[in-house]
Amino acid sequence: MRRVSFLATILFASSCFSVAAQQPENHVDQGKVTAGGKPVTLLGTGVKVGDKAPNFKVVNADFTPVSLSQYEGKAVLISVVPSLDTGICSLQTKYFNEKVATDFPNVVMLTISTDLPFAQKRFCKQEGVDKVQTLSDSVWRDFGQQYGLIIKDMGLLSRAVFVLDKSHKIQYKQLVSNLATEPDYQTAIESLKAL
């Protein structure tokens, strides 16, 4: 039974990578992100401050589809991480869960990664993440494509933070230039205060 589950996971992952490989390059953020000192290519459309945030479809821990339009009329912070099971991504998610969510109860806090939903669920239970909603872009790669965050040849999302006002206009965008570093939390918090 374990072997069948492992095989299904590999087949699922390989189909996701082939979908990501078909995406156009993100020219909005070209040359802005590095990993291990080398530039990475981001795939997808890309967005800018002032744009209306594109709607997207991801899944929650139960594989139920979730879209941005479900939070109509609410300000939203989107924290994007490559994988919750890495040190920096874990720190980023826990920071927004512990330090920010309680100070901004009227702001919807989302963390999006390409981790499979059951891995996200395990992480949240293990780390006590209960205020930020973790969502997976592993099924359709729709969020990564719409926001231009799919890392070519890796299939992961680039680290970023977005703040959307109640009409879902992008008020703040932070594309973290080095994947191995945490975002500038203070500037993100200041943008939330300005809403």
Per-residue model confidence (pLDDT) at position 23: 78
Q: What is the mean pLDDT of the chain?
A: 90
The single residue listed with the structure tokens 């040359």 is: 31
Q: Kindly indicate the confidence band of residue 67, based on its pLDDT and cuts at 50, 70 and 90.
A: very high
CB 180 within 8 A of CB 159: no
Which domains are assigned to the chain? 2-193 (3.40.30.10)
User: Taking the alpha carbons of 91, 97, 99, 104 in that order, is the dihedral positive or negative?
Assistant: positive
Question: Residue 117 is which amino acid?
Answer: P
Write a three-state SS string for the chain: CHHHHHHHHHHHHHHHHHHHHCCCECCCCCCCCEECCEECCEECCCCCCCCECCCCEEECCCCCEEEHHHHCCCEEEEEECCCCCCHHHHHHHHHHHHHHCCCCCCEEEEEEECCCHHHHHHHHHHHCCCCCEEEECCCCCHHHHHHCCEECCCCCECCEEEEECCCCEEEEEEECCECCCCCCHHHHHHHHHCC
pLDDT at 159: 98
Q: pLDDT tens-digit profile of 79-132?
A: 999 999 999 999 999 999 998 888 999 999 999 999 999 999 999 999 999 999
State yes or no: pLDDT of 9 exceeds 80: no
On the question of pLDDT at 1 being above 50, the answer is no
Positions marked catalytic: 89
Q: Determine the pLDDT at residue 176.
A: 98
